């Protein structure tokens, strides 16, 4: 967590008060929530009334996908990129299984991008029956950045609401809700140096998804639940700090990432870099290691103090090829033999040095294990 987020949370944890209560402590908590809403809106180019607090990215994605689908009934079609996070894919699949939705995956190219002509062609097969479109701003595995502004404009040409999961983008890339043209945007705290368990769905004015959960209607009657004022304060401090420092961080991480990529390629000559070579998150480097099982290589590196991932942390422990790499055209072996190295605000060249120090031996050992 960023120091600013820790400080903001610690200050609020000393206090009591339910932000929905009318007594003095409740009013103080409400003031914290509303000031945090204004801070986030200012940082992300939105109006305060467009910021709906949630428990994180998964809830925000569910609210966007399910809520917009229900709000647009009787339309049945959901257009969603084939490389979305499961927090968006699985609600769409659930709607197909239980609600009669027609989920149509949008194909991506070899770099993981949805091409504008792909979206336009999918819409025009039956534009009047499209309920909503969801394409993530930047992919959580391979780091590819989507042409969100162009895709949202195509959706609006046909009067269709456009949702983007920007969990990976906020704090890493310039994100302006108003300028992007998207109607709904998901973000979460722990990806910007804030606390886990809190996030937000930015909703354009005039857009009212059907509620996924019901109760007190605390957030625009769209999302119910007592707000965690300390977590909200920590989220606002993290978003504000991350956005202010975003450009400096981007420059530093891009240089460090490019060095990491170059040195990994030198250390393991047959490694394959996945994702777009230029349009990618500044801190993301994703590779396939031929002849290796990603899980085995991950554990070998972990034993040497290098923490990395075979894909989404939400699917860790599930032994199956990455749906992202398969959608990009990789075979199952390449998809299983992949690792993601992520750099953040605490990362240094010493971290890259340590990776390069232990990587060749770990790859060799993983390959021997695969042959045995």
CA distances from 276 to 37, 139, 247, 272, 311 (A): 34, 10, 20, 12, 16
Beta partners for residue 54, in sequence order = 199
Chosen domain end from 203, 224, 244: 244
- For 200, the 3-state DSSP assignment is strand
Mean pLDDT of 201-227: 94
Residues 52 and 94 occupy one common structural domain? yes
Q: 264 falls in which pLDDT band (50, 70, 90)?
A: very high
CA distances from 70 to 14, 65, 130, 213, 263 (A): 41, 9, 12, 13, 49
Mean pLDDT of 74-84: 98
Name the catalytic one among 13, 150, 314, 361: 314
Residues 341 and 308 occupy one common structural domain? yes
Domain range for 367 is 246-371
Q: 184 falls in which pLDDT band (50, 70, 90)?
A: very high
Write down the H helix ranges in the chain. 3-13, 24-43, 57-71, 86-99, 116-124, 148-157, 177-180, 229-244, 246-267, 294-303, 323-327, 332-336, 349-371
Residues 40, 239 contacting (CB under 8 angstroms)? yes
Indicate if 314 belongs to the active site.
yes
The tokens for 84 are: 């979305």
- Residue 370: its pLDDT value, please? 76
Mean pLDDT of 75-85: 98
Residues 92 and 209 occupy one common structural domain? yes
> Closest Cα to residue 132, out of 165, 169, 173, 170?
165
| Lowest-confidence pick of 126-130, 263-267, 366-370 | 366-370
What's 280's domain CATH number? 3.90.1150.10
Mean pLDDT of 174-194: 98
Residues 279 and 296 occupy one common structural domain? yes
Is 144 a residue whose pLDDT tops 60? Answer: yes
- Residue 320: its pLDDT value, please? 80
Q: How far apart are CA 8 and CA 337, in angstroms?
A: 41
- Residue 197: its pLDDT value, please? 97
Provide the whole-model pTM: 0.95
Q: Write out pLDDT tens, residues 36-66.
A: 999 999 999 999 999 999 999 999 999 999 9
Is 237 a residue whose pLDDT tops 90? Answer: yes
Q: How far apart are CA 184 and CA 161, in angstroms?
A: 8
Q: How far apart are CA 231 and CA 178, in angstroms?
A: 25
Is 111 a residue whose pLDDT tops 60? Answer: yes
Helix axes 246-267, 349-371, angle to 10 degrees: 40
- Residue 238: its pLDDT value, please? 98
Q: Write out pLDDT tens, residues 84-109.
A: 999 999 999 999 999 999 999 999 99
Q: What is the DSSP letter of 338?
A: E
Higher-scoring residue by pLDDT: 330, 320: 330
Residues 290 and 193 occupy one common structural domain? no
What's 122's domain CATH number? 3.40.640.10
- Residue 268: its pLDDT value, please? 98
- Residue 317: its pLDDT value, please? 55
Mean pLDDT of 327-354: 96
Is 365 a residue whose pLDDT tops 80? Answer: yes
- Residue 312: its pLDDT value, please? 55
Is 35 a residue whose pLDDT tops 90? Answer: yes
Chosen domain end from 244, 265, 293: 244
Q: How far apart are CA 308 and CA 32, in angstroms?
A: 36
Instruction: Please give the tally of structural domains in the chain.
Output: 2
Residues 233 and 187 occupy one common structural domain? yes
Is 110 a residue whose pLDDT tops 80? Answer: yes
Residues 96 and 229 occupy one common structural domain? yes
Q: How far apart are CA 188 and CA 198, in angstroms?
A: 6
Chain center to CA of 311: 13
- Residue 88: its pLDDT value, please? 98
Residues 88 and 224 occupy one common structural domain? yes
Q: How far apart are CA 252 and CA 282, in angstroms?
A: 9
Residues 57 and 194 occupy one common structural domain? yes
- Residue 273: its pLDDT value, please? 98
Non-local (6+) Cβ contacts of 256 within 8 A are: 283, 343, 347, 348, 349, 352
Mean pLDDT of the chain: 95
Residues 174 and 240 occupy one common structural domain? yes
Among left, alpha and beta (phi > 0; psi -120 to 50; other), residue 109 is: beta
Is 356 a residue whose pLDDT tops 80? Answer: yes
């Amino acid at each position: 967590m960023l120091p600013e987020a820790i400080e903001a949370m610690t200050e609020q944890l000393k206090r009591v008060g339910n932000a929905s209560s009318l007594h003095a402590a409740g009013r103080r908590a409400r003031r914290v929530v509303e000031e945090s809403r204004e801070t986030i809106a200012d940082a992300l180019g939105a109006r305060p009334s467009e910021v709906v607090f949630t428990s994180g990215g998964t809830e925000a994605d569910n609210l966007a996908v399910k809520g917009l689908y229900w709000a647009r009934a009787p339309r049945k079609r959901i257009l969603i990129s084939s490389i979305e996070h499961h927090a968006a894919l699985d609600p769409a699949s659930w709607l197909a299984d239980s609600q009669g939705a027609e989920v149509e995956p949008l194909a991506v190219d070899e770099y993981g991008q949805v091409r504008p002509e792909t979206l336009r062609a999918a819409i025009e097969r039956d534009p009047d029956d499209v309920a909503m479109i969801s394409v993530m701003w930047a992919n959580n595995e391979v780091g590819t950045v989507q042409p969100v502004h162009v895709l949202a404009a195509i959706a609006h040409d046909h009067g269709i609401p456009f949702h983007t999961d920007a969990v990976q983008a906020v704090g890493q890339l310039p994100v302006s809700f108003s300028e992007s043209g998207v109607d709904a945007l998901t973000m979460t705290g722990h990806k910007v140096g804030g606390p886990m368990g809190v996030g937000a769905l930015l909703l354009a004015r005039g857009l009212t998804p059907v509620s996924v959960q019901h109760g007190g209607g605390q957030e625009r009657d769209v999302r119910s639940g007592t707000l965690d004022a300390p977590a909200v304060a920590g989220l606002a401090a993290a978003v504000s700090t991350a956005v202010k420092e975003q450009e400096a961080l981007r420059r530093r991480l891009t240089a460090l990432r490019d060095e990491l990529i170059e040195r990994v390629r030198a250390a393991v000559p047959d490694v394959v870099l996945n994702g777009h070579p230029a349009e990618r998150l500044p801190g993301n480097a994703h590779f396939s290691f031929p002849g290796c099982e990603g899980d085995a290589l991950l554990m070998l590196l972990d034993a040497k103090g290098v923490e990395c991932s075979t894909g989404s942390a939400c699917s860790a422990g599930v032994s199956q090829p990455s749906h992202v790499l398969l959608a990009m055209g990789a075979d199952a072996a390449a998809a299983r033999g992949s690792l993601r190295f992520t750099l953040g605000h605490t990362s240094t060249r010493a971290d890259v040095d340590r990776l390069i120090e232990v990587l060749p031996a770990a790859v060799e050992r993983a390959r021997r294990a695969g042959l045995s």
